[in-house]
Amino acid sequence: MSRIGKKPVVVPAGVTVNVEGQTVSVKGPKGELQTCLVSLVSVKLEDNQVVVAPRNKTKASRSAWGMCRTLIANLMVGVTDGFSKTLHINGVGYRAAVQGKGLKLNLGYSHDVVYDIPEGITVVTPKPTEIIVSGIDKQQVGQVAAEIREWRKPEPYKGKGIKYADEYIFRKEGKKK
Over residues 23-72, the pLDDT tens digits come to 999 999 999 999 999 999 999 998 899 999 999 989 999 889 999 999 99
CA gyration radius for the chain? 21
From 59, 80, 101, give the residue that closes a domain: 80
Q: Give domain status of residue 177, yes or no.
A: no
Q: Give domain status of residue 44, yes or no.
A: yes
* For residues 146-169, average pLDDT: 94
Full residue range of the structural domain in which residue 159 is found: 83-164
**Position 175 pLDDT exceeds 90:** no
Model's pTM, two decimal places? 0.88
Residue 168, Cβ neighbours under 10 Å: how many? 8
From 63, 80, 97, give the residue that closes a domain: 80
- Compute φ and ψ for 70, nearest 5 degrees: -70, -35
CATH number at residue 160: 3.90.930.12
**Position 2 pLDDT exceeds 80:** no
Cα 135–Cα 133–Cα 119 angle in degrees, nearest 5:
50
1 burial type by CB count under 10 A (0-12 exposed, 13-18 middle, 19+ buried): exposed
For residue 166, the 8-state DSSP code is: T
**Position 16 pLDDT exceeds 70:** yes
CA of 145: how far to CAs of 65, 85, 110, in Å? 28, 7, 23
73 three-state secondary structure: helix
From 25, 50, 80, give the residue that closes a domain: 80
